[in-house]
Structure 1
Amino acid sequence: MTPAVLLLRRTFGTLVLLSVAAGVTTGFVSARKNPGVDVALTLTVPLPTRQAPQRDRSGGNVGETTFEALQSAELFAETLSGWLSSPDFVAAVYQRAGLKFPRATVRRLSRAFTAVKRGGPVADVHFHAPSAADGQALARAVITEIQERTTAFNAAAEDLTFRVTASDPLVAPVLVSPLLRGVVAGIVALVIGINLVLLNDFLRSPPDASAGGTTAS
């Protein structure tokens, strides 16, 4: 078995050239590839309104407290998060936006739109889009689809009416550093190359006869 220092001294130049080639290739591909944009918007559920006041047994009106109304709004915000993670919601949004439906599994489709519920009846929505124009179109489609489903929900409800307000979508380009990716790829390629050289030398070395041999008496 060749000593590791001597073996690496013989092959280090070749390994460095290969790692540099891997880094340059990775950086070049990263620079030419469109990273897309990230889109964020905030959905807020104001306190719901009651269509008809409830009456107690004596005939008087039973008013809903602010705390109960806030609880109802928070629960409806949870409903919005459930809609956003539904594959049929994703399909409806892409169809409404007039964009090509992405090829993905059902599990990945359920993560196309990420809804993070904050304190109170507020949900932050995040998703990725190929371009700023597509991001704006998808954001408008999300808002419209949410509002239409809210209208249908209110029609089926007995007494409460919910509304959903949406912030202006924030569209930010995904920042990718081709240089950093190239450096990381080069380092990884160098480490893998060194390990492969050592492994190849180990596998090609003949077994040590003195290690498992027996001594004659």
Structure 2
Amino acid sequence: MSEHIVKAAAERAHARDPSVGVSTDVLPEDPERALLREAHNAAVLVMGHRGRGTVTELLLGSVSLAVAAQAYCPVVVVRGSDASLAGKCGRVVLGIGNIEHGTTPIRFAFREAQSRRSVLDAVRTWRCPAHEDTDPPLLAGTLARHHEDQAARLLDEAMREPEREYADVEVRRILVEGPAKEALLQRAAHADLLVIGAWRRGHIGLQFGQVNHALLHAADCPVAVVPQWR
């Protein structure tokens, strides 16, 4: 049974692009352990997500989640609509977080957009802290502009060098007021790929956080989790 599955997968891959070399293997061991070992020598690891039907479609399998959290290379979890899976949207979405520890996810997103000949939407969200919402209207407006300007400066800083390196990629810088989860999920519904970063602390694994968990479970397109070291 396993041999038939990998053979069929190889045939489909070859039919899609005969120029790409395809090798197959069936390993009689725990899938999580096997995939993590292979990921040490991989540029990217591609995983499916478990679930069929309107409810279980939203659930990410335990193996996919564990591998995405521990792999040393970028992991792409394939999920989403027919349009995104077919690459018909012509857009890669990148969530811009804290860049003080590097821009690896940004450069990954640029490479994907370049290879796909797609537009790259770089999204940075901003919000006023809750305690500032109760300030007088004039002061609140000034504080809101301050937070928006701060987000714009961070976005400019994050994109400056990669834009020079990948000058042929069309980039749209997008500032959104509100929660990052809602902003990225909304844009993922019309994208071929959503790229997010996750911190890795030594052997502990990746620090996903609530936003990344939500995106992995509910995004309507494939999600690439790119490790960042700290």
TM superposition score category, shorter chain reference: under 0.3
Provide TM-score, normalisation by structure 2: 0.21
RCO comparison, higher one (Cα < 8 Å, 6+): 1
Q: Which structure has the greater CA radius of gyration?
A: 1
